[in-house]
């Protein structure tokens, strides 16, 4: 056995987990989201930056405001999902950095005084955290339906009026419903991805 992770956990997180397009009516509670966050928050980011911010879209009015900015193929399933989360990068994450990276408090000014540097770092580390979050949803026994087909500028203006956040993904969350997924598309083989020098 080459992996330390038990086979059931491998299946839950990776092998049997699938991107869901339909869900049952079972609600997703704040307690479940908190359990997901309190697990995946420990995964690493550069200099412990943690730029990910999450907006849970619960009210019917907010759901409608979100759906209008989605690509047509994403509208109906997002309107019907038990819970929808907007995952965004906080481009002003550096304000928390002296508290989050206390052994090098100069990092805030040394690396992140310019907005383009902050945006690039927030985009990369925020995307890492999107990956962790998707794994966390699966760890909760739920299915994630992550999407990137939307008008990003529209979502940023609609939900982050401060101009300081950039949407990274919108994720439907719930128990998978009927015909929840397509047949799995092929994955690249090890030899197509990994080389040795």
Binding its own copies (rule: CB under 8 A), the pick from 25, 60, 179, 187 is: 187
Which residue from 75, 119, 127, 151 is in contact with its own copies, where contact means CB under 8 A? Answer: 127
CA distances from 117 to 153, 155, 176 (A): 20, 22, 39
Tokens of 180: 């929840």
Which residues in the 18-37 window bind its own copies by CB under 8 A? Answer: 19, 30-37
Which is nearest to 152 in space by CA: 163, 141, 166? 166
Q: Does 119 bind its own copies (CB under 8 A)?
A: no
Q: How many residues does the chain have?
A: 197
- The set of residues, in sequence order, having a beta carbon less than 8 Å from that of 98 and lying 6+ positions away, is 105, 107, 108
Nearer to its own copies, 9 or 79 (CB): 9
User: Binding of its own copies at residue 139 (CB under 8 A)?
Assistant: yes
Q: How far apart are CA 85 and CA 30, in angstroms?
A: 12
**Site track for its own copies across 39-68, x = CB under 8 A:** xxxxxx-x-x-x-xxxxxxxx--x------
Interacting residues with its own copies between 164 and 183 (CB under 8 A) = 168, 182
């Amino acid at each position: 056995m080459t992996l330390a992770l038990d086979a059931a956990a491998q299946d839950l997180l990776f092998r049997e987990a699938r991107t869901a397009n339909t869900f049952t009516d079972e609600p997703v509670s704040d307690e479940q989201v908190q359990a997901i966050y309190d697990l995946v928050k420990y995964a690493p980011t550069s200099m412990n930056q943690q730029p990910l911010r999450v907006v849970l879209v619960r009210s019917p009015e907010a759901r409608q405001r979100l759906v209008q900015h989605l690509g047509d193929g994403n509208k109906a399933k997002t309107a019907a999902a038990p819970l929808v989360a907007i995952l965004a990068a906080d481009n002003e994450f550096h304000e928390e950095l002296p508290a989050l990276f206390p052994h090098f408090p100069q990092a805030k000014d040394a690396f992140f005084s310019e907005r383009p540097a902050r945006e690039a770092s927030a985009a990369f580390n925020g995307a890492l955290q999107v990956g962790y979050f998707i794994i966390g949803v699966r760890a909760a026994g739920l299915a994630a339906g992550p999407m990137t087909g939307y008008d990003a500028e529209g979502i940023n203006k609609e939900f982050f009026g401060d101009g300081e956040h950039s949407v990274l993904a919108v994720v439907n969350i719930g128990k998978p419903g009927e015909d929840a997924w397509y047949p799995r598309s092929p994955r690249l083989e090890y030899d197509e991805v990994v080389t040795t020098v």
